[in-house]
């Protein structure tokens, strides 16, 4: 009876405090998560307020919140949707997580924290908050491709978080983690996921459809929650996070087609326990520790905001998302949350980190949470501003890059061969990276012993022997670095040739400039990803940030070559635009001969082969009554809002080549528009719509 009374008392304290802070923060139009953290601070033992909840009991209840949050997220992602966004999301997440692991580790090193604390710090800042983003997206009504891409990245991040938790737990227990251990860890996770998905898809969707036919909401709710907690327990039994099991349960139920009804029923229960989870986090926030480590909190906040925006934006653009979508995706993911708390809690429980790291993580999360709604709200105008102020060669490249990447996704007889050859290049690159990392780590760990042995054998001074050992390691790694550079270049050429084939011997190569620009871009992206991976692996063993300087110089050299190719591409596009004007004029004459208005059906398909590298330009006519008539290209910001580029405009007998922002559109104008198919479709929707809303909001 005493335990029941204590449970009721703690539950009343937590929900009462959460209710009050929720009302206040709702009135102030601030994120509710901050209100929950404040409620936890009030109920915690670190402030002189005579309201203290039992930390252990509240933490137990909070675990239910984590499970239900991940279950609800899983309901949004069926296996088909995960596979659709998977490749792009995986590339973005790999680059971003690797970059944040390196930056977090580097920040910890600047403050003199231990190597283990550096590893935990990197993991804490690497994982964005699914809960905070979901609430913000719901509040602002963000739907469509942006929501799918962001949550796809979050799912891959969560899988990385589980792998990081497993790795850090092993390292913190003092057992170490060798390469075979890491392979076994990844293999075990893959095997668990495969078994659960295969067996789950056989039974769970059928069960949910059967239960749904009973038309009893309470039965549907109980069955869904039962599956959720059963899957969470199964994952925990195999040594994985309960969050992973809950997410898998939601994804399997989503495959039944009943996810909307289940989500509606689960939502009130989820929101209640999610509030308890964030209150429990706030209870661990110690203001004294926060005040003592204010510099680290501010620097880590900057690292999260800048590092995630840059990492995600670059990764999204590299996958062909376009400048507007890439910037909006990056600004949506610039925060940390629930998984960061879990990782910090593991470090605290295993005594792998100081007691300061958990409050620091909570403080950084609170600051980045506060900024998240503002960043999401500002992401669209910022994306348009960034695109508008890019140098013209980069604007041209950005508009065409997505159309080149689309050719990889188009099914062709050589698709299977393309995939196998691409995988071979990737394996070779990773092999070289692993060898270089092994040389760096081995030299760092064995340097004192090797230097002492050489000093004893030769009688040289200690600094001489250390220099000799370092020089030997450098000489040993040079062949692998050269081999890596060659493979990166060969891989880029292979992909670029697949996207923009060469015409063969004796024929004029009209796609030479676009192909060189694509080669430069692919080299730059590949080198950036591999460089960040190498830094992430080796940074915990290096005494300084010299590795980052080396990678930065290499990226800068490749970037200068890319800029030269992008400038040549811009000149190539201007020449192609001049020829495109004649194509538009021919279309106008044909329409006139038919005594018809300029037709949107007269395509530029016959000219695609003549202008390789310009994507698949399409002909768009400004109709009478279009709200775009009378507005300048700068006011419409067509490229910034859609990602498409206007190559030329035909207005009667007047021709406009590569029109700029001050040019005013008029009804009857015939435009040649290039870009990815999605971008061109957005341009068509924008120029023919009756409103000036964004054609692909969300």
**Phi, psi angles (nearest 5°) of residue 637:** 50, 55
Q: Pick from 220, 231, 225, 97: which is nearest to 157 by CA?
A: 97
Could you tell me which residue, 590 or 122, shows the higher pLDDT? Answer: 122
Q: Which of 160-174, 292-306, 574-588, 650-664 has the lowest mean pLDDT?
A: 574-588
The better pLDDT of the pair 264, 78 is held by 264
Q: How high is the pLDDT of residue 295? A: 92
Q: Which residues contact 404 (CB under 8 A, 6 or more apart)?
A: 496, 499, 500, 514, 518, 613, 615
Residues 6+ apart with CB under 8 A from 633: 646, 659, 660, 661, 662, 663, 665
DSSP classification of residue 607: G
Report the range of poorest mean pLDDT among 42-46, 135-139, 225-229, 329-333: 135-139
Higher-confidence position of 351 and 446 = 351
Site of tokens 């990764």:
315
* Per-residue pLDDT at 2 exceeds 60: no
Q: What's the pLDDT score for residue 642?
A: 74
For 619, phi then psi, to 5°, come to -100, 125
State how far the alpha carbon of 672 is from the alpha carbons of 159, 293, 366, 494, in Å.
Answer: 44, 57, 48, 30
Residue 416: what pLDDT?
Answer: 57
Comparing C-alpha atoms, which of 430, 552, 429 is closest to residue 494? 429
Flag whether pLDDT at 597 surpasses 60.
Answer: no
Model pLDDT for residues 213-250, shown as the tens digit of each residue: 888 888 888 998 899 899 888 888 887 777 778 888 88
Average pLDDT over residues 659-678: 78
3-state secondary structure of 334: coil
- Name the pLDDT band for 525 (thresholds 50, 70, 90): confident
| 253-292 pLDDT, tens digit each | 887 877 788 888 888 888 888 788 778 877 777 788 888 9
d(CA 231, CA 247): 9
* Least confident among 71-80, 268-277, 415-424, 579-588: 579-588
Query: 323-332 and 144-172 are packed helices; what angle lies between their axes, rounded to 10 degrees?
Result: 50
Beta bridge pairs of residue 655: 650
Instruction: Using the predicted structure, report yes or no on whether residue 603 has a pLDDT greater than 70.
Output: no
Q: What is the DSSP letter of 360?
A: H
Q: At what angle do helices 55-75 and 259-283 cross, to 10 degrees?
A: 150
Output the pLDDT for position 579: 67
Least confident piece of the model among 102-111, 406-415, 484-493, 624-633: 406-415
For the chain, give the percent of residues with pLDDT over 70: 86
Q: Is the pLDDT of residue 305 over 90?
A: yes
In this predicted structure, what is the pLDDT of residue 554? 75
Q: What is the pLDDT of residue 447?
A: 75
Question: Is 393's pLDDT higher than 70?
Answer: yes
Are the CB atoms for 21 and 39 separated by under 8 Å? Answer: yes
Cα 218 to Cα 210, 221, 255, 264, 265, distances in angstroms:
14, 5, 20, 12, 8
pLDDT at 373 over 50: yes
Q: How confident is the model at residue 405 (pLDDT cuts 50, 70, 90)?
A: confident
pLDDT (mean) for 11-27: 86
Q: State the average pLDDT for the chain.
A: 79
Report residue 613's pLDDT band, with 50, 70 and 90 as the boundaries. Answer: low
| Mean pLDDT confidence for 355-372 | 86
State how beta strands 654-657 and 618-621 pair: unpaired
User: Confidence band (pLDDT; 50, 70, 90) for 381?
Assistant: confident
**Among 170-174, 411-415, 613-617, the least confident range:** 411-415
CA 193/CA 201 separation, integer angstroms: 12
Query: At residue 308, does pLDDT exceed 90?
Result: yes
Q: Which residue has the higher pLDDT, 117 or 402?
A: 117
Span 380-391, average pLDDT? 83
- In the chain, the domains with their CATH numbers are 59-389 (1.20.1530.20), 407-577 (no CATH), 579-688 (3.30.70.1450)
Q: What are the respective helix, strand and coil percentages of the chain, to the nearest 5?
A: 75, 5, 20
Sheet containing 670-674: order of strands: 618-621, 670-674, 645-651, 654-657
Q: Name residues whose C-beta falls within 8 Å of residue 588's C-beta, 6 or more positions apart in sequence.
A: 598, 650, 670
Structure-model confidence comparison of residues 434 and 408, the more confident one? 434
pLDDT reading at 479 higher than 60? yes
What pLDDT sits at residue 279?
83
Look at residues 422, 567, 342, 361 and name the one whose alpha carbon lies nearest to residue 87: 422
User: Which region among 21-25, 131-135, 537-541, 581-585 has the lowest average model confidence (pLDDT)?
Assistant: 581-585
Handedness of CA 590, 592, 595, 600 (dihedral sign): positive
pLDDT for res 176: 52
For residues 95 and 680, which has the higher predicted lDDT (pLDDT)? 95
């Amino acid at each position: 009876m005493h335990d029941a009374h204590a449970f009721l008392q703690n539950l009343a304290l937590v929900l009462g405090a959460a209710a009050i802070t929720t009302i206040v923060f709702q009135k102030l139009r601030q994120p509710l998560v901050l209100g929950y953290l404040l409620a936890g601070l009030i109920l915690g033992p670190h402030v002189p307020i005579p309201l203290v909840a039992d930390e252990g009991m509240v933490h137990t209840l909070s675990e239910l919140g984590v499970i239900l949050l991940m279950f609800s997220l899983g309901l949004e992602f069926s296996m088909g949707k995960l596979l659709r966004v998977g490749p792009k999301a995986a590339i973005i997440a790999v680059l971003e997580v690797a970059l944040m692991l390196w930056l977090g580790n580097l920040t910890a090193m600047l403050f003199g924290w231990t190597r283990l604390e550096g590893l935990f710090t990197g993991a804490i800042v690497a994982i964005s908050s699914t809960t905070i983003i979901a609430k913000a997206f719901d509040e602002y009504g963000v739907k469509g491709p942006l929501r799918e891409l962001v949550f796809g990245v979050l799912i891959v991040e969560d899988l990385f978080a589980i792998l990081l938790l497993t790795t850090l737990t092993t390292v913190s227990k003092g057992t170490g983690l060798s390469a075979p251990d890491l392979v076994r860890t990844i293999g075990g996770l893959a095997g668990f996921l495969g078994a659960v998905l295969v067996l789950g898809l056989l039974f769970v969707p059928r069960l949910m459809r059967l239960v749904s036919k009973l038309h009893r909401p309470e039965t549907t709710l109980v069955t869904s929650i039962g599956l959720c907690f059963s899957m969470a327990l199964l994952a925990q039994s195999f040594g994985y996070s309960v969050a992973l099991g809950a997410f898998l349960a939601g994804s399997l139920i989503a495959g039944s087609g009943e996810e909307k009804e289940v989500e509606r029923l689960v939502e009130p229960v989820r929101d209640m326990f999610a509030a308890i989870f964030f209150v429990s986090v706030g209870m661990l926030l110690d203001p004294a520790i926060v005040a003592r480590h204010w510099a680290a909190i501010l620097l880590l906040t900057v690292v999260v905001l800048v590092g995630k925006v840059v990492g995600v934006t670059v990764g999204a653009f590299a996958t062909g998302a376009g400048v507007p979508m890439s910037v909006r995706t990056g600004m949506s993911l610039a925060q940390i949350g629930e998984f960061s708390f879990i990782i910090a809690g593991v470090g605290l429980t295993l005594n792998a980190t100081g007691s300061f790291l958990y409050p620091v993580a909570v403080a950084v999360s609170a600051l980045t949470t506060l900024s998240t709604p503002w960043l999401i709200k500002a992401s669209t105008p910022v994306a348009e501003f960034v695109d508008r102020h890019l140098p013209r060669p980069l604007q041209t490249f950005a508009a065409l890059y997505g159309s080149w990447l689309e050719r990889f996704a188009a099914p062709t007889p050589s698709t299977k061969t393309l995939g196998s050859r691409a995988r071979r290049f990737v394996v070779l690159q990773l092999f070289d990276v692993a060898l270089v990392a092994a040389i760096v780590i081995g030299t760092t760990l064995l340097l004192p012993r090797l230097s002492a042995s050489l000093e004893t054998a030769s009688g040289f001074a200690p600094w001489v022997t250390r220099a000799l050992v370092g020089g030997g390691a450098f000489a040993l790694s040079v062949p692998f670095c050269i081999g890596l550079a060659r493979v990166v270049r060969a891989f880029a050429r292979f992909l670029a040739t697949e996207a923009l084939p060469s015409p063969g011997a004796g024929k004029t190569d009209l796609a030479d400039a676009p192909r060189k620009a694509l080669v430069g871009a692919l080299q730059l992206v590949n080198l950036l990803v591999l460089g960040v991976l190498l830094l992430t692996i080796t940074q915990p063993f290096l005494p300084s940030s010299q590795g980052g300087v080396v990678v930065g110089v290499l990226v800068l050299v490749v970037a200068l070559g890319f800029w030269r190719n992008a400038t040549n591409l811009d000149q190539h596009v201007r020449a192609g635009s001049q020829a495109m004007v004649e194509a538009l004029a021919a279309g106008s004459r044909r329409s006139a001969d038919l005594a018809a208005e300029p037709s949107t059906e007269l395509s530029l398909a016959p000219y695609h082969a003549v202008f390789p590298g310009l994507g698949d330009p399409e002909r768009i006519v400004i109709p009478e009554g279009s709200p775009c008539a009378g507005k300048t290209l700068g006011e419409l910001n067509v490229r910034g809002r859609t990602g498409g580029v206007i190559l030329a405009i035909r207005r009667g007998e007047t021709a406009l080549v590569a029109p700029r922002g001050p040019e005013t559109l008029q009804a009857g104008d015939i435009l040649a528009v290039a870009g990815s198919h999605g971008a061109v479709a957005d341009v068509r929707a924008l120029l023919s719509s009756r409103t000036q809303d964004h054609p692909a909001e969300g």
